[in-house]
Structure 1
Amino acid sequence: MTAALDAASVVVPAIGGPAPDFELSNQFGEPVRLSAFRGQNVVLVFYPFAFSGICTGELCEIRDNLAMFEDAKATVLAISVDSKFSLRAYAAQEGYSFDLLADFWPHGGVASAYGVFDADSGMAKRGTFIIDAAGHVRYSVVNPRGQARDLQEYRTALAGLGEA
């Protein structure tokens, strides 16, 4: 099967459908399971690589506006294919207080489950999924390569959680 056929078969979880459960290690090696957050909202932020320019800008914007997520009773989980060791150094350098999850092995397994793994480049695409307290996908966006996400879109999507 060619890469073009594989890309065409990629499926992003449907809005309103269940979010695929997973367990990954955070930057400290602690296991983090999505289903453990039932009863609260979760923002999954897939990003290509730690220490890269656009990714750092996006995650610093989240860091600097974390109160917006907390006000919506939302936990931010940022996910990349980097190792927990890289993520620990990255979080320390940038002052991230939210979990950075290592989708390191199987390489990109969780990103694949969410339809945002780019097998040709070996990295996650810039995908965001907002999961409600019941574990359903309420919002998703996948940005083109090289295009940062808009913080205002998070604000709008989080405000919509109260309308369910």
Structure 2
Amino acid sequence: MSLSVGDVAPEFSLPDQDRQVVSLADLRGTPVLLVFYPFAFSRICTGELCQLRDELATYTDAGVRVLALSTDPAPTLKAWREQEGFDFALLSDFWPHGAIAQTYGVFNDKAGMAVRGTFLLDADGRVAFTEVNGPGDAREQSGWKDAVAQLAA
């Protein structure tokens, strides 16, 4: 079961594309947008994260830190980040495989991948917005922007 608005977000520490550990606890005091996605280099995921890249100022200007998470290994994420020019961290939930996606309720154990889960966390680490889309169902990001604007207000 996925998290709901008002829930405390589960803590995690994961390596990014450069194998530098990013801990949610270290970001306390800063709103965070967590974007879980199935696979690097896939068509829908690339479209979603390229839109996020192109509209990143919407989030960063509001003081929101953006983190994208998948079950891909760090070297794959590094290659994808370099190819697409992403300016936000890509976190690897590779091992134990999908453990963080599981704690957020967005892991498809039959396919071994995260589903399209989006969580906006407030500065205290509580879920302010959540959206979960199934495989093949691209996300409309206007809801994320509305939630960021409400959080910033």
| TM-score bracket for this pair, using the shorter chain length | over 0.9
Equivalent residue, structure 1, for 2:61: 71
Shift of 1:147: 1.2
Give the % identical residues.
50
Equivalent residue, structure 2, for 1:91: 81
SS at match of 2:147: helix
Q: Which runs of 4+ in 1 moved over 4 A?
A: none
Equivalent residue, structure 2, for 1:60: 50
Shift of 1:153: 1.0
Structure 2 residue identity aligned to 1:64: D
The question of 1:135 aligning with 2:128 is answered: no
Aligned residues: 153
- Aligned-partner Cα distance in 1 for 2:101–2:142: 24
Shift of 1:81: 0.2
Q: 2:92 aligns with which of 102, 115, 135?
A: 102
Higher Cα radius of gyration:
1
The question of 1:151 aligning with 2:135 is answered: no
- Aligned-partner Cα distance in 2 for 1:14–1:20: 12
1:126-148 Cα offsets, whole Å, 9 max, x none, are 00000000110111000122111
SS at match of 1:17: coil
Q: CA RMSD in A?
A: 0.8
Deviates further, 36-45 or 142-151:
142-151
The question of 1:26 aligning with 2:55 is answered: no
Equivalent residue, structure 2, for 1:16: 6
The question of 1:36 aligning with 2:41 is answered: no
SS at match of 1:110: helix
Structure 1, unaligned stretches of length 5 or more?
A: 1-10
The question of 1:162 aligning with 2:152 is answered: yes
